[in-house]
Amino acid sequence: MVSVLAAVLVTWVQTRGKITWSKLKVDFSRFNPLSRLKQMLFSRDSFVRLLKELLKVLLIVAVSFLYLKSRQGTIVSLSQSSYSLGLAKVAQLMGGLFVRITPLILLIGVGDYLWEWHKLHEKMKMSKQEIKDEHKEQEGNPMLKSKLRARQRAIVMNKMMQKLPEADLLLVNPTHYAIAIKYDTSKAPAPYVLAKGRGALAKKIRRKAREIGLSIVTNKPLARLMYYQVKVGSLIPPSTYKAVALILAGIFRSRRTRN
């Protein structure tokens, strides 16, 4: 009785007073001795739980035995005592047993609670590899993203190269930057950038421009400004209208002269 009351008290503390009524439903699979034996033999958690329960029982039995052994004289004298005196002695024995077992069960319950909490905390921890895998899932595979960016750059470059013959002017740095400019009043109110590139891409654009006979003009500050301030497909800044207009006027005049 003492053990039952103490166990109920410990369980109440561990569950913080929460009662799960669904656990009271009859589940006949729980009565299958083979499945239970399989769980006990092949499940690490079940085996550890079994050892803990055995340890609890052994401790309670050991404390109860030692206490009752120390009160052996009182137990023997029960047969010679009157009914009322016998009840008083039994109550005294039960009280002493309760006082000794309850703290032990509470201590075991606290230790069990801390162990379960630690085990749950460890399960919730992610290993370094799991963190990396999760990061890859959220951010994407770095190698795959790199290949995707390279493919996107190749697509953009191909589109620019295809539009390059439509340009009226290629503005260069002369080696680091290349910006192709188009002026068509039917499409835009001001000149706009058809293509641009820096480094190796600028070199490819210059080579292509020479192949198609596009006018190439060197203007270092203007080329640099265009590269950093104007996106492909966007109009040139109003501050550059005059400079670009002078260059385009010279190119158009030269074309008319040749024709």
pLDDT digit string (tens) for 187-207? 889 999 999 999 989 999 999
What is the 8-class DSSP label of residue 78?
Answer: G
Arithmetic mean of pLDDT, 112-131: 73
The pLDDT assigned to 138 comes to: 61
Strand partners, 171: 179, 217
| Structure-derived torsion over alpha carbons of residues 42, 47, 48, 50, reported in degrees to the nearest 10 | 160
Residue 133 pLDDT > 90:
no
Backbone angles phi, psi at 196, to 5 degrees: -155, 155
User: Using one digit for the tens of pLDDT, what is the confidence trace for 47-62?
Assistant: 777 777 888 888 888 8
Instruction: Give Cβ neighbours of residue 236 (< 8 Å, ≥ 6 apart).
Output: 181, 190, 191, 192, 193, 226, 230, 244
Domains and CATH numbers, the chain: 2-123 (no CATH), 150-258 (3.40.1690.10)
The pLDDT assigned to 198 comes to: 92
User: Using one digit for the tens of pLDDT, what is the confidence trace for 99-108?
Assistant: 888 888 888 8
